[in-house]
């Protein structure tokens, strides 16, 4: 079971490498959206420090969800998705492979990009470090929950907006705990509880979402 | 060993067929014929487990395929309308991935062997997006050209876009597979000679009934 | 298995047709009693005066919004397990009523908030959760509406409802956490006045009134959906006396 999973991850990473533009665009999207916030709110640093965590998280949410279309849509269009589901491997294994690859090219880079972004919002070192940790712990949940939405809306017109509408309410817990962790850090308090909860959410999502994603894919392929 | 009982299929508002039963045993080939829109592709997708019928069941080795997906999947090679190949991978990479996914021999040698059987060995390092339609179809068909292919082949218009030489190669492959005890279900538009002894199942659109011998 | 008899569309249509007026009447009666109790019998509240009485509409609406989502998810689950057509019809019939209840709860909450503590909306945990619940309802309806094939639409929306129902407790808990982190000691924590017996009686009566209304509304909608989906069937043409 590990070998096919790795094969799927390797294939998707190879494809992402050959379509570098798509991957970089997502990162750029994240940066641009986050930059809009100070432009909209004003450059007073105390205010930015307060809203920094939340702004970064909202931008991370949007960037993750927007990029999820490509997780399944391309495979759906050329018939590869059918082959993945007919391969004799458990569908959840295939799904985990795809979502893992997606996270490696979306969630992980976003977590790293948060370091310079933290500077934009004048977050201190502790808060910035917590932000990166929170993103690393929370973006897997975003990828997993978002993948459910992507699987349900496969091939539908208006897909991007629809997926966002469906997925955003479900990601509220991740947003709340992710922000709370950073704000705790900024207030020189322990972010441990929030980070633990975030990790717990990602683990729970990893346990439950693959089943839902596989079921949604079958529904959408009919 | 592949058995379908009382299948009913409705697409959109049209009922394509009902009470359709069929059976394919080792060494047999089932040729599904019918005009455009008769439901051939839907039937093949139901048999492959990609489409849920309105009613009825498909059984592989006695077990319902919806409950035994993994066993069924490992015994099945499906080539549908879409080729199921990635444009951004080379022909060789596509074949090696398909093998690795199945847990089969994914070595370069094995993959080159499969490509050779479809006369694509010279194109192994070409990105799939640069292949012609016919070549892409042949690449899709390498799924059945591996050293140890699955027992059941479900092929939806495999001869599409193939030139005469490729058609002959595929026919030879089918004959060899059937002789070795494999099973084939296929549809075809063109007037291509079916393997000898193939059973014919005719789907009639509009009547919602299937005629012809679907039983062995 | 006589219950399965009612899973057949014509039987369901008939039975629901009888149930709707019954529940409608019950709902009307209970609402009259409940509103009388709430507006005339229950005492004036020491802190909030008369304004608190909007609670007799707000609280039942909020409860129904939550309850209906659970029922919707139940029907969706049933649809996956039993594969009956009626399950999907029920799930789809429930969604708009649930959304309406959520919307009503939000509106009455805002109307209550302004006179009682000065602001229409103060992001308290319950209201925020209700807002997210409204989004979940709308997502369900949006997904169903975006898919042409009815069967795929039913199953996709049903799966979404199941995913949602698993998430709702987590969302509720996280919103409580979020609120407690940021609001600290705020007046919104003491939202409802201390409950006296007549208030409780009025509340319960209104709750049952809302429940009966929701059943009547849902079954009416379900009948309409059944007619639409089965419009080519003999019994539909006969019962609507459509000429060939």
8 Å CB contact of B88 and A8 = no
Q: What is the pLDDT of residues A183-201, one digit of tens each?
A: 898 888 888 999 999 999 9
8 Å CB contact of A4 and B100 = yes
d(CA B112, CA A153): 38
Q: What is the pLDDT of residues C48-84, one digit of tens each?
A: 777 788 888 999 999 999 999 999 999 999 999 888 8
> Domain range spanning residue A43?
2-221
Q: In chain C, where do the E strands start and end? A: none
Q: What is the pLDDT of residues A27-46, one digit of tens each?
A: 999 999 999 999 999 989 89
In the sheet that holds B209-211, the strands lie side by side as: B76-79, B152-156, B183-187, B29-34, B199-204, B209-211
Radius of gyration of chain A (CA): 18
In a domain, B77, yes or no: yes
Model pLDDT, residue C184: 52
Model pLDDT, residue C186: 40
Report the number of distinct structural domains present in chain A. 1
Contacts of C113 (CB under 8 A, 6+ apart): C119, C120, C121, C122
pLDDT at A203 over 80: yes
Q: How far is A208 from chain B (nearest CA, A)?
A: 19
In a domain, C202, yes or no: yes
Mean pLDDT of C14-19: 88
d(CA C86, CA C95): 14
pLDDT at C2 over 60: no
CB atoms < 10 A from the CB of C97, how many? 23
CB atoms < 10 A from the CB of B16, how many? 27
d(CA A92, CA A209): 9
8 Å CB contact of A79 and B71 = no
> Domain range spanning residue B176?
2-86+150-211
**Nearest CB to A18: which of B82, B84, B88?**
B88
d(CA A168, CA A59): 12
Contacts of A133 (CB under 8 A, 6+ apart): A181, A195
pTM: 0.89
**Under 8 Å between Cβ of B119 and B127:** no
> Choosing among A158, A166, A185, which should be mutated to test the C contact, i.e. which has the most C CBs within 10 A?
A166
* Chain A residues with CB-CB distance to C153 below 8 A: none
In a domain, C127, yes or no: yes
* Burial of B18 per CB tally in 10 Å (0-12, 13-18, 19+): middle
B31's enclosing H/E stretch is strand B29-34
Q: How far is CA C13 from the centre of its chain?
A: 21
Find the CATH number of the domain harbouring C222: 1.20.120
**Nearest CB to A82: which of B84, B100, B103?**
B84
> Domain range spanning residue C40?
25-184+193-240
Find the CATH number of the domain harbouring B194: 3.40.50.300
B76's enclosing H/E stretch is strand B76-79
Q: What is the mean pLDDT of chain A?
A: 92
Reported as a pLDDT band with limits 50, 70 and 90, residue C91 is very high
Q: How far is B65 from chain A (nearest CA, A)?
A: 11
Q: Judged by CB atoms within 8 Å, which residues 61-80 of A form the interface with B? A: 77-80
* pLDDT tens, residue order, chain B (216 aa): 888 888 888 877 778 888 888 999 998 999 988 887 788 899 999 999 999 888 889 999 989 998 889 999 999 999 999 999 999 999 999 999 999 998 888 889 999 999 998 889 899 999 999 999 999 999 999 988 887 889 999 999 999 888 888 888 899 999 999 999 899 999 987 677 788 778 888 887 654 444 444 443
**Under 8 Å between Cβ of A180 and A166:** no
* Range with top average pLDDT, A16-25, A97-106, B45-54, C227-236: A97-106
In terms of CA atoms, which chain A residue is nearest residue C162?
A212
8 Å CB contact of A86 and B49 = yes
Report the number of distinct structural domains present in chain C. 1
d(CA A124, CA A128): 6
- Quote ipTM for the complex: 0.90
Reported as a pLDDT band with limits 50, 70 and 90, residue A57 is very high
**Nearest CB to B50: which of A15, A19, A82?**
A82
B129 touches chain A (CB under 8 A): no
Model pLDDT, residue C166: 92
CB atoms < 10 A from the CB of B60, how many? 22
């Amino acid at each position: 079971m590990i070998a096919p999973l790795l094969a799927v991850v390797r294939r998707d990473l190879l494809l992402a490498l050959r379509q570098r533009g798509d991957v970089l665009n997502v990162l750029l999207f994240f940066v641009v959206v986050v930059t809009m916030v100070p432009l909209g709110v004003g450059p007073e640093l105390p205010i930015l420090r307060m809203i920094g965590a939340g702004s970064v998280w909202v931008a991370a949410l949007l960037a993750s969800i927007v990029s999820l279309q490509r997780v399944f849509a391309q495979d759906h269009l050329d018939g590869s998705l059918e082959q993945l589901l007919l391969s004799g491997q458990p569908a959840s294994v295939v799904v985990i492979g795809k979502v893992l690859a997606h996270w490696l090219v979306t969630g992980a880079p976003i977590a790293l990009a948060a370091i310079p972004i933290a500077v934009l919002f004048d977050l201190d070192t502790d808060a910035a470090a917590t932000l990166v940790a929170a993103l690393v712990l929370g973006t897997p949940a975003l990828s997993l929950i978002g993948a459910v939405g992507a699987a349900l809306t496969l091939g539908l017109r208006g897909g991007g907006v629809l997926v966002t509408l469906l997925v955003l309410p479900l990601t509220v817990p991740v947003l709340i705990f992710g922000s709370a962790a950073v704000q705790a850090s900024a207030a020189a308090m322990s972010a441990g509880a929030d980070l633990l909860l975030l990790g717990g959410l990602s683990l729970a999502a990893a346990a439950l979402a693959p089943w839902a994603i596989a079921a949604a894919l079958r529904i959408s392929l009919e | 060993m592949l058995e379908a009982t009382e299948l009913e299929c409705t697409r959109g508002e049209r009922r394509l067929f009902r009470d359709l039963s069929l059976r394919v045993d080792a060494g047999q080939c089932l040729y599904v014929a019918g005009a455009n829109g008769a439901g051939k592709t839907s039937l093949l997708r139901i048999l492959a487990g990609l489409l849920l019928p309105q009613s009825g069941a498909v059984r592989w080795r006695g077990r319902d395929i919806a409950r035994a997906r993994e066993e069924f999947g490992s015994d099945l090679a499906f080539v549908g309308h879409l080729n199921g190949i990635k444009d951004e991978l080379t022909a060789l990479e596509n074949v090696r991935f398909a093998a690795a996914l199945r847990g089969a021999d994914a070595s370069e040698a094995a993959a080159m062997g499969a490509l050779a059987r479809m006369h694509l060995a010279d194109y192994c390092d070409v990105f799939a997006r640069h292949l012609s339609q016919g070549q892409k179809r042949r690449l899709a068909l390498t799924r059945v050209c591996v050293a140890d292919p699955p027992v059941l082949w479900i092929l939806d218009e495999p001869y599409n876009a193939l030139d005469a030489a490729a058609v002959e190669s595929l026919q030879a492959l089918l004959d060899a597979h059937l002789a070795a005890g494999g099973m084939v279900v296929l549809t075809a538009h063109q007037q291509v000679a079916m393997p000898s002894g193939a059973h014919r199942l005719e789907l009639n659109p509009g009547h919602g009934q299937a005629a012809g011998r679907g039983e062995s | 298995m006589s219950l399965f008899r009612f899973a057949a569309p014509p039987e369901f249509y008939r039975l629901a047709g009888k149930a709707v007026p019954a529940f409608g009447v019950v709902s009307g009666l209970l609402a009259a009693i409940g509103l009388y109790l709430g507006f005339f019998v229950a005492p004036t509240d020491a802190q909030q005066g008369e304004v608190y009485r909007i609670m007799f509409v707000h609280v039942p609406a909020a409860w129904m919004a939550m309850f209906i989502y659970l029922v919707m998810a139940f029907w969706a689950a049933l649809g996956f397990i039993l594969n009956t057509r009626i399950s999907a019809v029920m799930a789809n019939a429930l969604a708009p009523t649930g959304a309406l209840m959520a919307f009503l709860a939000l509106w009455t909450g805002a109307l209550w908030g302004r006179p009682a503590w000065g602001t229409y909306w103060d992001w308290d945990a319950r209201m925020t959760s209700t807002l997210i619940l409204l989004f979940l309802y709308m997502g369900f309806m949006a997904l169903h509406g975006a898919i042409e094939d009815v069967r795929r639409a039913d199953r996709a929306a049903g799966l979404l409802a199941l995913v949602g129902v698993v998430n709702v407790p987590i969302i509720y808990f996280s919103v409580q956490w979020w609120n407690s982190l940021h609001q600290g000691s705020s007046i919104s924590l003491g939202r409802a006045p201390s409950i006296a017996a007549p208030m409780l009686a009025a509340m319960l009566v209104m709750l049952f009134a809302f429940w009966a209304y929701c059943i009547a509304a849902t079954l009416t909608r379900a009948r309409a959906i059944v007619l639409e989906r089965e419009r080519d069937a003999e019994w539909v043409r006969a019962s609507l006396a459509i000429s060939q």
